[in-house]
């Protein structure tokens, strides 16, 4: 993992100590096969009482991480910006390479015969990487709402769910969002708009909706650092009447907790026997693809003959 010095820096002892903490947390995430966003790193430091939970601390951390990376003290690969990425097409050196790639990526739709058709929706793009690991492990699609979901994406989801419903499957959204006035309201908004679009085409249809995080029982159990709820939010008063004037961000939960919550929610509805039949068939097809790749020269000779 690269620690490359571009600009030397004589950090003060307090900053040096904070860099040590950052690297400790980074190592924990790396061990789990995960990368951090700056926001996640901040909340991990706050939850361990290393820095106070305030905007100035977040801003200072961003500056320190930037300087420490330039000084070769923090791994360049450890912290990522999940909202910006270069997009390109794939390339291969040989036909065998693409066949090996096919073997790795070949999947059957293991939910096609299931009673439920699950999707995992998360409020923030920054958490998509964490959500992906849990969702992909059980062949479930995931979606980053980026706040209130656009009308275009909500309509597209409604039409997708209408198709599932017509095929005899029950659409099921597993939702994760912040515990703040807007984050709570987003769950209501998703369920209401999806049902509106679905019922226009099938009056008896509906989506099964489950908000699995962030909920008050999890706030009490895991004690993520609180923030003042935004009093300027038009939904503040209703939120404050029910929950008080504090709010909590989903980013503050450990990735392992989110991973478990998602897998538990999916496993509640999955029909394991049907899933395993298709998993076994998928493995057989992947094995065949690998054999073709391993013996590609023989395949070419056979075709030429």
pLDDT in tens, 68-83: 999 999 999 988 877 6
Predicted pLDDT of residue 1: 61
Residues 293 and 254 in one domain: no
Determine the Cα angle at 148 with ends 168 and 165, to 5°: 5
Q: Within a domain: residue 78?
A: no
Average model confidence (pLDDT) for the chain?
A: 94
Residues 139 and 230 in one domain: yes
Residues 209 and 241 in one domain: yes
Domain that holds residue 304: 92-113+271-305
Predicted pLDDT of residue 90: 86
CA distances from 142 to 17, 75, 176, 180, 244 (A): 38, 28, 11, 22, 31
> Sign of torsion, CA 200 201 203 206?
negative
pLDDT at 84 over 90: no
pLDDT digits (tens, 9 = 90+) for 6-38: 999 999 999 999 999 999 999 998 888 888 889
Residues 104 and 166 in one domain: no
Residues 151 and 186 in one domain: yes
Residues 214 and 296 in one domain: no
Q: Within a domain: residue 82?
A: no
Q: Within a domain: residue 75?
A: no
Predicted pLDDT of residue 58: 94
263 burial (CB, 10 Å; 0-12 / 13-18 / 19+) is middle
Q: Are strands 142-144 and 116-122 parallel, antiparallel or unpaired?
A: parallel
Q: How far apart are CA 235 and CA 245, in angstroms?
A: 12
Q: Within a domain: residue 63?
A: yes
188 membership: H or E segment, kind and range:
helix 181-201
Q: Within a domain: residue 288?
A: yes
Residues 105 and 133 in one domain: no
Residues 247 and 148 in one domain: yes
Residues 239 and 276 in one domain: no
pLDDT at 57 over 70: yes
Residues 61 and 134 in one domain: no
Residues 148 and 283 in one domain: no
Kindly state the percentage of the chain with pLDDT values over 90: 81
């Amino acid at each position: 993992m690269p620690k490359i010095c571009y600009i030397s820096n004589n950090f003060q002892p307090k900053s040096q100590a904070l860099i040590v903490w950052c690297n400790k947390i980074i190592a924990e995430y790396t061990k789990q096969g995960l990368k951090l966003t700056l926001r996640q790193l901040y909340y991990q430091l706050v939850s361990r009482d290393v820095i106070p939970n305030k905007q100035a601390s977040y801003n200072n951390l961003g500056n320190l991480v930037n300087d420490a990376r330039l000084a070769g003290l923090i791994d360049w690969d450890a912290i990522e910006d999940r909202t910006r990425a270069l997009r390109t097409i794939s390339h291969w050196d040989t036909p065998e390479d693409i066949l090996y790639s096919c073997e790795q990526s070949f999947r059957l739709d293991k939910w096609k015969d299931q009673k439920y058709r699950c999707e995992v929706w998360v409020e923030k793009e920054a958490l998509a990487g964490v959500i992906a690991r849990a969702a992909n492990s059980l062949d479930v699609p995931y979606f980053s709402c980026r706040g209130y979901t656009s009308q275009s994406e909500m309509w597209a989801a409604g039409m997708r769910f209408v198709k599932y419903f017509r095929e005899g499957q029950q659409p099921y959204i597993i939702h994760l969002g912040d515990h703040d006035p807007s984050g709570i309201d987003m769950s209501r908004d998703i369920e209401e708009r999806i049902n509106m679009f679905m019922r226009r085409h099938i009056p008896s249809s509906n989506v099964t909706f489950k908000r699995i995080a962030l909920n008050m029982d999890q706030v009490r159990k895991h004690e993520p650092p609180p923030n003042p709820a935004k009093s300027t939010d038009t939904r503040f008063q209703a939120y404050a009447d029910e929950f008080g004037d504090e709010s909590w961000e989903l980013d503050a939960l450990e990735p392992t907790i989110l991973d478990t919550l998602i897998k538990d929610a999916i496993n509640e509805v999955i029909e394991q026997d049907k899933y395993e039949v298709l998993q076994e068939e998928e493995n057989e097809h992947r094995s065949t693809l690998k054999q073709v790749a391993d013996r590609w020269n023989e395949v070419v000779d056979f075709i030429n003959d």
